[in-house]
Structure 1
Amino acid sequence: MLFNNMKSSVIKLAFLTTLSTSMLMGCETTEENEATRIAELKSINITRDVEVEWRKQAGSGVENYFSNLQPAVVGDVIFAASRKGEVLAYNKLTGKMIWETDTRSNPPSFYDKLTFGDRETDKLSGGITAAYKNIYIGSENGEVIALSQESGELLWRQKVDGEVVAAPDAGDGWVAVSTTSGNVVVLHPDSGEMRWQAETTVPALTLRGTSSPTIESGGVLVGTATGKLQVMLLDQGLLAWDAQIAVVKGTTELERLIDVDSKPIVVGPDAYMIAYNGNLAAVDIQSGRVKWKREYSSYRNLTLDTGIIYLTDAKGFVTAVEASTGVEKWTNNDFYNRRLSQPVVYKDTIVVGDFEGYYHFLDKNSGVEISRYKLDDWDYSAFRWFVSWFTSEDRRAYASPVASEELLYIQTRDGELTALRLP
């Protein structure tokens, strides 16, 4: 009898152990599945149809490389660039080309392009920034390049320590860049002459990207890979103060990443930025005092409009937050893991692009999606369709849209620049 009871107990214990293990494995599998799940797009009630105003081929694009290149608009002109070094200017209303240039020392001939021998690249990756009648672009080759807005003439190129994969900033008569090696560099806008260089700490493992600096009120504000907002004095490069936006937590290396890759936004006395695995924060730019923090995680730039911060987080949620208090106004979680772009304000909507090339137009006040647009793979000439078989054309978007008055501009990985209109 005792043996039978022991046998029964052992069987029950074995069953419970197996059941517990199965449940734990099931929980882990469920969590893993949820972490990698990509949301299917829901059917929406489209209240306004997106129209194509014009479309142009603006160079060879960025292919499948990491890139922060995006168009820039000044007056009636829109500038676009490719990774290889092609830079073009168009009339923003009509799409008529104004000029085209190439930053490479040995630009390809027509024959090279025709026979796919166009292989030299300047690795343009950060920009375009328009200021002082020039445009400024950074490269993975560790260069900052300046071109004339009027003619496209190459004015100067300056070597810096590290890749420039974030857009330069211009202000107070200077140009500032940050590099992947942790350097912040200030240059003269007309000559490229270096005024000063300062270093920030870079951990062994970081995200692929850096914070674009912001020049404001005699200082250079920049996010760091150690979760800080730092301010250097513009005239000397000395550290004025730093503020901790995120602290290391978690057990894995990925969970311990706290990069602040967003460009600081300054409005009045406050600067706003967000960290990966960290916080959205408001900081007083004179003292470095953190006014408020809210737990959000993102590696995209923020957008601020009429007192509201719009952000896309690492999970694909789009959220509106009151800048003065940090109180959440609304959030849209329909785009889970769809790798959204920075949100852009366009008319009365917030526009985000996703990894499949869809553009989602959300109502500014509620976050409800009111329209959607996707570049149709069949919506171009038979010649380009034929060429795509040999060149791996990729019409997905990679950069944030750019809004200017009535039109919205998007650029795809294969270099196509499209102007859209939402009535």
Structure 2
Amino acid sequence: MMKKLATLALVSLLAACAGTDNSPQPTPLKDVRNSVNLQSAWHASFGSSSLFGFGQDVTGLFRFAPDVTGDAVYMAGVNGVAGFALADGHKLGEMRGDKPLAGGIGAASGLVVAGTLKGDVYGWDADGKQRWKARVSSEMVSPPVVAEGVAVVRTVDGRVWGLDAKDGKVRWQFQRNQPSLILRNYAPVTVADGAVYIGLASGRLASLSLADGRVLWESLVAQPKGATELERISDVTSAPVVSRGTVCAVAFQGKVACFAVSNGSLLWARDVSSYAGLAMDADKVYVSDETGNVQAFDRSGGRSLWKQADLYGRRVSGPAVYAGYVAVGDFEGYVHLLSPSDGSIVARLQTDKSRVLVAPRVVNSTLVVQTESGGLHALAVK
């Protein structure tokens, strides 16, 4: 299995071994006169970069993403889960398993789900009591998703599991063969209107029935191309985005493409490479590309609208649409708000100076950001 996994760090390592480093140099930030009042509502912290106190540094290996159920937001670190009140950030409690956690949180209807390096899946009640423990085939590095009585988890061997939210028993399983070289896939699945949307290796997007896991359709986001296996990596490594009858996905070394949710027919596709992800509003699709630029495309036909290049090389997170703006984080913990009309930066706020690895989470009027060092930040436009 480990021979099949390639991370972006591996790509950089190969470049370094060849005598060149192709990673873009971070662009120094230009001064921004905030025309939008982005403020910190509260912040908290939980987690550690040391694996269960054994001194193994796992910084950058995992991408933990928070989730919300009821009036609480939950975040994971390698050593467990913590819950905080969404209103003011006061700590509600902790949940601990007996093995290191390796992905983010899936939370809904009073259930909190997380997985481990060894394929264990824990389901806790919102008050911290363990409801069940299940076993899947391999390591979980992406957040589970809980919806309509099903906990959907994916493992690094290319499988997706539908577990019963009541007891953790397997309802269904989906698997596709993987190419010999793939990126380490941190992407959660996306669940909408009874369907599960999964970005796969080799640039494919699949839609499954949430109830029983049967395949509704599969479509190609990007065709692998190139002379070497490294050049042919075109994995979809971020969550698909679904809205108003359209589902969009983006592939590394590939394309951004949008499809009809009803049958998977291609609506449009444009060349862009991303491992961070995309977001969508009523009329635009926003993509954080692999170099740190943020690009906007017309939702109806894919026409390129603008590119924000001031964040080039800053290892920008996936975008989120928040309060009428586009929010992204960067490697120094800054959160930037972009105008959806032209991509100009209208506000900036630094969190805790560590990298924002995953797209900010929008919860009602709050923007929730988790950082690499274990910080949890609630931001708001006032």
Alpha-carbon deviations, 1:246-279, whole Å to 9, x = none? Answer: 1121234332111012222222332211111111
Contact 1:177–1:185 (8 Å) recurs in 2: yes
State the match for 2:16 in structure 1.
none
Give the C-alpha shift of residue 216 in structure 1: 4.0
1:194 and 1:376, CA in 2 relative to 1: closer, same or farther beyond 3 A? Answer: closer
Q: Percent of counterpart pairs with the same letter?
A: 32
* C-alpha distance in structure 1 between counterparts of 2:245 and 2:35, whole Å: 39
Instruction: Work out which of the residue numbers 365, 369, 374 in structure 1 matches 2:345.
Output: 369
Instruction: Work out which of the residue numbers 126, 136, 147 in structure 1 matches 2:103.
Output: 126
State the match for 1:398 in structure 2.
357
State the match for 1:42 in structure 2.
30
* Pair 1:144-2:121 in alignment: yes
Kindly indicate which of the two structures has a greater share of residues assigned to helix. 1
Greater mean deviation of Cα atoms: 317-326 or 55-64: 55-64
Give the C-alpha shift of residue 356 in structure 1: 2.0
State the match for 2:78 in structure 1.
83
State the match for 2:44 in structure 1.
56
Instruction: Work out which of the residue numbers 85, 88, 93 in structure 2 matches 1:94.
Output: 88
Alpha-carbon deviations, 1:121-163, whole Å to 9, x = none? Answer: x3323231211321122222212221112x1111112111122
Instruction: Work out which of the residue numbers 191, 208, 212 in structure 2 matches 1:232.
Output: 208
Give the C-alpha shift of residue 182 in structure 1: 0.8
Contact 1:58–1:82 (8 Å) recurs in 2: yes
Give the secondary-structure state (helix, strand or coil) at the position aligned to 1:237.
coil
> Which residue type is aligned with residue 335 of structure 1?
L
* Pair 1:356-2:332 in alignment: yes
Greater mean deviation of Cα atoms: 222-231 or 356-365: 356-365
* C-alpha distance in structure 2 between counterparts of 1:176 and 1:126, whole Å: 13
1:90 and 1:234, CA in 2 relative to 1: closer, same or farther beyond 3 A? Answer: closer
> Which residue type is aligned with residue 421 of structure 1?
A
Contact 1:410–1:418 (8 Å) recurs in 2: yes
Contact 1:168–1:178 (8 Å) recurs in 2: yes
1:54 and 1:155, CA in 2 relative to 1: closer, same or farther beyond 3 A? Answer: same
Contact 1:67–1:126 (8 Å) recurs in 2: yes
State the match for 2:12 in structure 1.
none
Give the C-alpha shift of residue 211 in structure 1: 3.8
After TM superposition, the structure 1 = structure 2 runs for residues 226-375 of structure 1, keeping only pairs within 5 Å, are 226-375=202-351
After TM superposition, the structure 1 = structure 2 runs for residues 139-218 of structure 1, keeping only pairs within 5 Å, are 139-149=116-126, 151-218=127-194
Contact 1:179–1:210 (8 Å) recurs in 2: no
Give the secondary-structure state (helix, strand or coil) at the position aligned to 1:408.
strand
Greater mean deviation of Cα atoms: 306-315 or 61-70: 61-70
* C-alpha distance in structure 2 between counterparts of 1:235 and 1:251, whole Å: 41
Give the secondary-structure state (helix, strand or coil) at the position aligned to 2:179.
coil
State the match for 2:7 in structure 1.
none
> Which residue type is aligned with residue 36 of structure 1?
P
Alpha-carbon deviations, 1:1-29, whole Å to 9, x = none? Answer: xxxxxxxxxxxxxxxxxxxxxxxxxxxxx
State the match for 2:377 in structure 1.
418
State the match for 1:18 in structure 2.
none
Kindly indicate which of the two structures has a greater share of residues assigned to strand. 2
Greater mean deviation of Cα atoms: 39-48 or 88-97: 39-48
Give the C-alpha shift of residue 410 in structure 1: 2.4
After TM superposition, the structure 1 = structure 2 runs for residues 12-27 of structure 1, keeping only pairs within 5 Å, are none
Contact 2:149–2:166 (8 Å) recurs in 1: no
Give the secondary-structure state (helix, strand or coil) at the position aligned to 1:125.
coil
* C-alpha distance in structure 2 between counterparts of 1:198 and 1:376, whole Å: 39
1:230 and 1:55, CA in 2 relative to 1: closer, same or farther beyond 3 A? Answer: closer
Contact 1:164–1:178 (8 Å) recurs in 2: yes
TM-score (norm 1): 0.77
* C-alpha distance in structure 1 between counterparts of 2:245 and 2:298, whole Å: 16
What RMSD in Å do the two structures reach over aligned CA positions?
A: 2.3
Contact 2:203–2:221 (8 Å) recurs in 1: yes
* C-alpha distance in structure 1 between counterparts of 2:376 and 2:169, whole Å: 33
Instruction: Work out which of the residue numbers 90, 93, 103 in structure 1 matches 2:97.
Output: 103
State the match for 1:68 in structure 2.
63
* C-alpha distance in structure 2 between counterparts of 1:211 and 1:366, whole Å: 28
Contact 1:317–1:331 (8 Å) recurs in 2: yes
State the match for 1:12 in structure 2.
none
* C-alpha distance in structure 1 between counterparts of 2:43 and 2:346, whole Å: 23
* C-alpha distance in structure 2 between counterparts of 1:260 and 1:342, whole Å: 13
Give the secondary-structure state (helix, strand or coil) at the position aligned to 1:337.
coil
Contact 2:27–2:311 (8 Å) recurs in 1: yes
* Pair 1:220-2:179 in alignment: no
5+ residue gaps, structure 1: 1-31, 105-121, 378-394
Give the secondary-structure state (helix, strand or coil) at the position aligned to 1:226.
helix
Give the C-alpha shift of residue 103 in structure 1: 2.1
5+ residue gaps, structure 2: 1-19, 51-57
* C-alpha distance in structure 2 between counterparts of 1:235 and 1:349, whole Å: 35
> Which residue type is aligned with residue 131 of structure 1?
A
Number of paired residues? 356
